[in-house]
Structure 1
Amino acid sequence: MKTKLLLFLCLLATIPGFAQMGTIDKQNFKTVALSKDQAGNLIIKKWVVPIRYKVYTGKVAYSSTEIDSIFSQVKALTSLDIAPAKSEDEVNFSVFLGGKNDFGAQIPSAIAQSFSQLGGTYYKFNGKGEIYQAIDLITVPNFSDQLAARSAIRKSIIKLFGFFTPLENYPTSVFYSQNNNVVKFDSYDIFLIRLLYGPRFTPGMTAEQLDEVLGKM
Structure 2
Amino acid sequence: MKNLSLIFLVLLILQNATAQKLTPSEVKAFKAVALTFDNPLSRTLIIRKWSTPIYYKIYGTENAEYDKAVQQEAASAFKQIRQLTGLQIKQVMADDSVNFKIMIGEPAKLAGLLSPELLSYFKKGGMFYYTTNQSGISSITSIVNPKQYTQRPHVRTIVQIQIGNGIGLFGKITYTDNSIFSATPTVLPINFKPEDALRIKTLYNPKILHGMTGKEVDEVLKGIE
Q: Tell me the TM-score normalised to structure 2 length.
A: 0.85
The answer on 1:36 being equivalent to 2:42 is: no
Rounded to whole Å, the distance in 2 between the matches of 1:80 and 1:59 is 30
Q: Determine if the alignment matches structure 1 residue 138 to structure 2 residue 144.
A: yes
Residues matched between the structures, number: 212
1:56 Cα deviation (Å)?
0.6
| Alignment match of 1:47 (pick from 47, 50, 55) | 50
The residue identity in structure 2 corresponding to 1:9 is: L
Q: Which moved more, 1:71-80 or 1:116-125?
A: 116-125
- CA 179–144 in structure 1, closer or farther in 2 if over 3 Å, else same: farther
Secondary structure at 1:43 match in 2: strand
| Range 139-148 or range 167-176, more displaced | 139-148
Q: Which residue of 1 aligns with 2:88?
A: 81
Q: Percent identity?
A: 28
| Offset, 1:22 | 2.2
Q: Tell me which protein shows more helix as a share of its residues.
A: 2
Q: Deviation per CA, 1:30-71, whole angstroms, max 9, x where unpaired?
A: 111101123522110000111110001113442112211211
Shift of 1:100: 1.3
Q: Is the 8 A contact 1:50 1:80 kept in 2?
A: yes
Equivalent residue for 1:175? 181
**Counterpart of 1:151 in structure 2: which amino acid?**
T
Q: What SS does the corresponding residue of 1:168 show, helix, strand or coil?
A: coil
The CA deviation at 1:115 is 1.9
Q: CA RMSD in A?
A: 2.2
Report the residue type matching 1:85 in the other structure: V
Q: Structure 1 residue 8: deviation in Å? A: 3.7
Query: Is it true that 1:103 corresponds to 2:110 in the alignment?
Result: yes
CA distance in 1, matches of 2:151, 2:215: 42
Q: Which runs of 5+ in 2 are unaligned?
A: none
* Equivalence for 2:211: 204
- Look up the match of 1:114: 121
* Structure 1 unpaired stretches of 5+: none
Say whether residues 1:163 and 2:156 are aligned partners.
no
Return closer, same or farther for 1:12/1:42 CA change in 2, 3 Å cut-off: closer
Q: Which amino acid in structure 1 is aligned with residue 182 of structure 2?
A: Y
Write the distance in 2 (CA, Å) between the matches of 1:134 and 1:74. 16
- Asked whether the 8 Å contact 2:46–2:214 carries over to 1, the reply is yes
**Conservation of the 8 A alpha-carbon contact between 1:151 and 1:181:** yes
